[in-house]
Structure 1
Amino acid sequence: MKDMLSWDQTLFKDSELFELDHIPEHFLHRNAQLQSLMFSMRPALGGGRPINCLCTGKPGTGKTTAVIKIFEEIEKHTSRIIPVLVNCQVASTRYAVFSHIFNKLIGYSPPSSGVSFKKVFSEVVKHLVEHERILVVALDDMNYLFYENEVNEVLYSLLRAHETHPGARMGVIAVLSDTGVPHMLDPKVESVFLPEEIIFPTYSVDEIRDILSNRAKLGFYPGVLDDSVLDRIAGHTFDLGDLRVGIDLLKRAGLNAEKRASRTISIEDVESAYERSRLVHLSYVMQSLKEDEKILLGLIADSSPANSGELYERFHSRTDLGYTRFYEMLKKLDAVSLIDVDFTGRGLRGRSRVATLRYRADEIKTRL
């Protein structure tokens, strides 16, 4: 009976370490990327414009954490540079991005209506020039600005500000998840952006094991997780290529062991947690969908595979939205890996599209 937990005992020394938004103190296997980011910020320390960066890699490869780490360092060492992290899943328009920047600089948000973009932009730039501050904006999940066709306006406004307001210094760190869909910028934006590309490769299975082992050591009490169980978790995480799956798996497997009143996590605890943990990406993406996009996804879930012509008819009768918006949403759901859109060769001029779910319909519906 000594291996049994009593009701008030726990396996978790610090459960905060298994939350997906936790920023680890020791950020392993991303030293080269941190060095590149820091090097790009160096001109700003001397009062110049920082070098623009483009951080690319699959989801769950440490891009956002790296940016947060660099921003923490900047804020610790200088008040001359103002770093602003914008989550483009939430702020996916030019006005929303600049409202976020305005809030960081001035301390409150501009009104959500009745104030023009020009006014918000002008206040931001005026503040920077008057206080001799240098702005570094990280556009996290910049993919969402592409989906909303806002990316060129956002970058253009940030990167050309010094032309209308001499003395304004701004730099951009674009964080772009590699979803296999190429993203093209307007040539006039590309010519002023010219970023330093910093690639975040998928973690190897050994790197994943190392990172998860470190979390487990700090987060669980000694003896809770043995090597064979850690290997199984690292293997599952590597197969899906997203570190967040492994962190979630550690947490859920620990909770499963506690439910059994066991002092150790077993392979069975991991396997029964895996079904939920592998859907971390799905839950994460679906949180960011707008109401109309959820309606469209629900319609696809009802009849996957769905022909786009029939799908549009049903979508239009539910929302009253036109075909252009429908088609943009279809492309977005494809780009965020919720559906696949393929041509069948049937239909008008021989090119009909068919939308197929990448997850089971019930997994989608429970999250809707």
Structure 2
Amino acid sequence: MTKDLLMWDETIFRDPEVFETDFIPEQFNFRENQIKELAFKIKPGLSGSRPLNTICRGLPGTGKTTTIKKLFSEIEAHTQRLIPVHINCQIDNTKFAIFAQIYHKLSGNSIPSSGTSFKTVFDMICRIALERNIVLLICLDDANYLLYEKEINKILYTLLRAHEAVKGVRVGIITVISDMDINLMDEVDMRVSSVFRPDEIYFPPYTIDEMKEILLQRVYQGFYPNVIKSDLLDIVVEQTMKAGDLRVGIDLLKRAGINAEMDARKTIEIDDICRAYDVSKNIHLKNTLKTLKGDEKEILRLISELSTENNEITTADLFITVKDRLKMGYTRFTETVKKLDSLRIININYKGIRGRSRIITLRYEPDKVKENLRKENTK
């Protein structure tokens, strides 16, 4: 029996980094067409021209960010003429924050948090671009967050018109949209759409066979041999398909491995997977909560409290509670509820005569929402 137990200095992980959601695998399957198409849009930048503007569109966990980061890595390895800049708009979702990140990429220096005007930052970026004779390729990843914050038009307009403000500056834009209810060209104003004119690349959900192959490759790279049996991997694939997000499966493998190690076992068992799934299935919730503002978290907390008491919550009843407790106006309230729906934390359904009554339901268990909110608030 003891021969199957881990010694204190042993591990079942060959490479733990493989199970991080931002890991870029060398073997990246089932997105060959998207990679080729995006590379074609980028190609003019390699010869000093402006890359074609592009929208990469698809549900979360369908390989959009990995595709872009893999291409950006190849660009950086082969040329200094085209400079790719990846912006995570979940974190940086204001005009100043995004241009500060662009400046940091070009100069290696950070902008002071106060005392520096946007014009100063913009001028410094343009000066560096002209001095080095480079083309900028800006990826606005999860650009739907810029829509939620009403920043999208200001940011795109400034990037698209940079060549008019400073002659000789060349900028290409990749926007990544994970909210399938959003048609970006319907959301931006005329002065942006007339110049933007992007091509769209669609990233479909992975099939069950594709999902299994991807997770199997992570198992081969990340674990030592025979750590997880094929029938247990099938269960991981099944739960990943149910969640509709590859990141759930990757996190599930990681946590199941940790559970096995905590019990000093050299193999993963079904109980390890079950315990891990209870956490991994909420990875989207956990990550999304990090991006919410204080009042948005408070509204979500109220929804979770009311959901515990009542299965059906109308937006009208919720607003009465929000107005009383948070002293929030109706416009900000409706914007927040719409955002939570867009982020796939709640569902809004229409009910009643002519569909006038809007019903709010949580996509997650109320207790899990409250638990994750408590954890987030203690950080």
Match of 2:254 in 1: 251
Task: Check if 1:351 corresponds to 2:356.
Answer: yes
Percent identity between matched residues is: 49
Shift of residue 146, structure 1, vs aligned partner? 0.7
Shift of residue 181, structure 1, vs aligned partner? 4.3
Matched AA of 2:348: V
Matched AA of 2:150: N
Residue deviations 1:2-37 (CA, integer Å, cap 9, x gap): 323334332111112111222222222211111112
Structure 1 runs of 4+ with >4 Å offset: none
Match of 2:340 in 1: 333
Correspondences of 1:1-368 after superposition (within 5 Å) = 1=1, 2-183=3-184, 184-304=187-307, 305-345=312-352, 351-368=356-373
CA distance in 2, matches of 1:47, 1:210: 38
Gaps of 5+ in 2: 374-379
8 A Cα contact 1:56 1:197, kept in partner: yes
TM-score for both structures, normalised by structure 1: 0.93
| SS in structure 1 at match of 2:206 | coil
CA distance in 2, matches of 1:57, 1:341: 21
Count the aligned residue pairs.
Answer: 366
8 A Cα contact 1:179 1:336, kept in partner: no
8 A Cα contact 1:52 1:173, kept in partner: yes
CA distance in 1, matches of 2:31, 2:62: 9
TM-score for both structures, normalised by structure 2: 0.91
Shift of residue 255, structure 1, vs aligned partner? 2.1
CA gap 1:50/1:182 in 2 versus in 1, 3 angstroms: closer
CA gap 1:181/1:357 in 2 versus in 1, 3 angstroms: farther
Residue deviations 1:228-273 (CA, integer Å, cap 9, x gap): 1111211211222211011111112222222333322223322232
CA distance in 1, matches of 2:225, 2:192: 53
What is the aligned-residue RMSD (CA, Å)?
Answer: 1.9
Residue deviations 1:62-107 (CA, integer Å, cap 9, x gap): 1111111111111111111111111101111112111111222233
CA distance in 2, matches of 1:118, 1:316: 38
8 A Cα contact 1:179 1:337, kept in partner: no
CA gap 1:318/1:106 in 2 versus in 1, 3 angstroms: farther
Matched AA of 1:264: T
CA distance in 1, matches of 2:8, 2:271: 21
CA distance in 2, matches of 1:343, 1:178: 20
CA distance in 1, matches of 2:264, 2:40: 50
CA gap 1:239/1:354 in 2 versus in 1, 3 angstroms: closer
8 A Cα contact 1:42 1:50, kept in partner: yes
Residue deviations 1:112-146 (CA, integer Å, cap 9, x gap): 33433233222222321232111110001101001
CA gap 1:327/1:245 in 2 versus in 1, 3 angstroms: same
| SS in structure 2 at match of 1:39 | helix
| SS in structure 2 at match of 1:303 | helix
CA distance in 2, matches of 1:132, 1:95: 24
CA distance in 1, matches of 2:355, 2:239: 41
Gaps of 5+ in 1: none
